[in-house]
Amino acid sequence: MRRLVIELKNHPRRSLSVMSGERMDAAIRKHAPYLRGLEPVQVFVQEYDPRLSTRFRYTPAPQLLELLRRELRELRQHSAA
């Protein structure tokens, strides 16, 4: 099971499930309109790992953060036009 955890500035974090076979970048693009007006600070990939005491491993995903920021910029530009 994989989820994307998005930390936002001055807002609670959001998480979204990545469907089986779905690419993470496609999930970010699909979810970006719901984050319009918010400022993402960090994106993590959350993966289940039974060996860990917390059961989940969080891996930073700077490339997905940059993609999300780019998508939000484009949404802002399209809504301003």
pLDDT at 80: 72
- Tell me: the pLDDT tens digits for 6-57? 999 999 999 999 988 999 999 999 999 999 999 999 999 999 999 999 999 9
| Per-residue H/E/C for the chain | CEEEEEEECCEEEEEEECCCCCCHHHHHHHHHHHHCCCCEEEEEEEEECCCCCCCEEEEECHHHHHHHHHHHHHHHHHHHC
Report strand pairing: 40-48 vs 2-8. antiparallel
- Tell me: the pLDDT tens digits for 56-76? 999 999 999 999 999 999 998
